[in-house]
Amino acid sequence: MKKVYLETYGCQMNVSDSERVATALGRDGFEVTADAAGADVVLINTCSVREKAEQKLYTQVGRIRHSEGPKPIVGVLGCVAQLEGETLLKKIPGVDFVVGTRAVGRVGSILNRTLDGESEIVDLGEREDEYDWTVADTHRHSPYVAFLPIIEGCNKFCTYCIVPFSRGRERSLPASDIIRHTLELKRRGVKEIHLIGQNVNSYRPETESGLEGFAGKSAFSRLLRAVAATGIERIKFTTSFPRDFHEDIVEAIETHENLCNWVHLPVQSGSNRVLKLMKRGHTIDRYIKQIDRMRASSRDIAITTDIIVGFPGETEADFRDTVELVKYCGFDSAYIFKYSPRPGTPAFEMDDTVSAAEKTLRFLELENTHKASQHKCLERYNEKVLKVLAEGISTRTENGISGHSTCHKVVNFVGDKAVLGSIVNVKITKVKANSMFGEVV
């Protein structure tokens, strides 16, 4: 049995792709190993969103090439593979095959062809509707939590982003298939599903199949209600796009207890001028209304976001608007990034007017602002009882168990292994920026 080691960079879509590749390889008779040393095949599932992530591919292949002992077969998957195709074989000596995001369903057969002696296979998928929607079965990151892709690709073309080029146009999986997959995962003991996609709330299936009879203006809110009706214990969804984030989504969360109280809504900048340069298609006024609506909800919705600092043309005044927005919103969590130009995007052609030093200063200031407002925001969880899915052993506490709350916080508590896989009431006793501690009540 050939041993395959899979390394994954990037977003949840990539993690989900890798899980499905691993499941398929297991079915095809390969052994998927967690140990890179001793693997016969190394597959690297790449990310092209930031330069740093792309750089990791070069480092990793270099490390394999210069390591002692027999060299494994190396396959490159994911967004860098899709964008670069054949040129990767020339750029990185030591790569044996390249498989794009649209062809991940064929990794097993490509691997077999390589083992039979065929060299330098490049498969980028011929049509955009070739995405593999298979649900990961045997190789998930958790036995109790499953990622379920519902929409693939992106039509938004934000000027800084390479995803519309690497993953192609949006395609939505029919709701009837999503419901079928949810019921199957529930039957296999999964407690929590994450409906995932670059923009889940841009969900637009070609057919109403599975959505009939569910209320809501947008197809996504009807989908949420349809999935909630399966009775699976918890449903989370990410990522949401502000322009397509309608009130009916919040109303669905308020109606169905099993729709979790967490929304990831990337704002990217607090300045309307910069949002225009980014072609985000939303305004700060509208974003604040969305935040206010969620804050007023009876479900105590946790709101998280992404922000880019130092976008080309971002002035000091624009940056101040972002600082004020962060103070106003008080995010549960904010992922702040320094702008990183990606070749092939419209922003790459813009004048990068903010110096590297200035980007760093803005990044640090925004991080500090966020930490201060986050601290206040998270204090509301102190002494509160949260429902936590016990997912694994915690290294943070002795006899510890770790899991996520419905508001997607990592919670550590003392408990017996027997609780793994169940939902436990935990009273929060200590709140930190990235995790909480509590005791079972």
Q: Is 113 in the site for ligand SF4 (CB under 6 A)?
A: no
Q: Which of 234, 237, 233 is nearest to 223 (CA)?
A: 237
Buried b (16+ CB within 10 A) or exposed e, 261-283: bbbbbbbbbbbbebbebbebebe
Judged by beta carbon, residue 168 or residue 438, the one nearer ligand SF4 is 168
Q: Of 12-20, 151-159, 204-212, 392-400, which segment contacts ligand SF4 by CB under 6 A? A: 151-159
DSSP state of 54: H
Identify the residue among 51, 63, 157, 364 touching ligand SF4 (CB under 6 A): 157
String of contacts with ligand SF4 for each residue 158-187, x by CB under 6 A: x--x-xx-----------------------
**Interface with ligand SF4, residue 203, by CB under 6 A:** no
* Contacting range for ligand SF4; rule: CB under 6 A; set: 56-64, 156-164, 247-255, 359-367: 156-164
Exactly one of 41, 146, 154, 431 binds ligand SF4 (CB under 6 A); which one? 154
Task: Using the minimum distance from each CB to ligand SF4, give the nearer residue, 156 or 338.
Answer: 156
Q: Give the DSSP letter string of 287-342.
A: HHHHHHHHHTSTT--EEEEEEEES-TT--HHHHHHHHHHHHHH--SEEEEEE----
- Work out whether 156 is an interface residue with ligand SF4 (CB under 6 A): yes
How many Cβ atoms sit within 10 Å of the Cβ of residue 434? 8
Task: State the minimum distance, in angstroms, from the CB of residue 278 to ligand SF4.
Answer: 8
| Closest CB to ligand SF4 among residues 157, 335 | 157
To ligand SF4, the closest distance from the beta carbon of 138 in angstroms equals: 29
Q: Are 141 and 19 in contact (CB under 8 A)?
A: yes
- Residue 164 or 313: the one with the smaller Cβ distance to ligand SF4 is 164
Which C-beta is closer to ligand SF4: that of 64 or that of 161? 161
Give min distance, CB of 402 to ligand SF4, in A. Answer: 30
Between 131 and 241, name the residue whose CB sits nearer to ligand SF4: 241
Q: CB neighbours of 204 closer than 8 A, spacing ≥ 6?
A: 170, 172, 219
Contact assessment for residue 111 and residue 77, using Cβ atoms and an 8 Å cutoff: no
Question: Minimum Å distance from CB 176 to ligand SF4?
Answer: 26
Q: Which two tokens stand for residue 17?
A: 């792709």
Q: What 8-state DSSP symbol labels residue 242? A: G
* Count of residues in contact with ligand SF4, rule CB under 6 A: 10
Residue 283 or 373 having the CB closest to ligand SF4: 283
Alpha-carbon gap, residue 174 to 222, rounded angstroms: 12
Q: Which of 199, 240, 258, 305 binds ligand SF4 (CB under 6 A)?
A: 199
Contacts 24+ apart (CB under 8 A), 180-183: 181/135, 181/148, 182/148, 182/227, 182/230, 182/232, 183/230, 183/232
Q: Which residues fall within 8 angstroms of residue 90, CB to CB, at 6 or more apart?
A: none
Residues that bind ligand SF4 (CB under 6 A): 154, 156-158, 161, 163-164, 198-199, 241
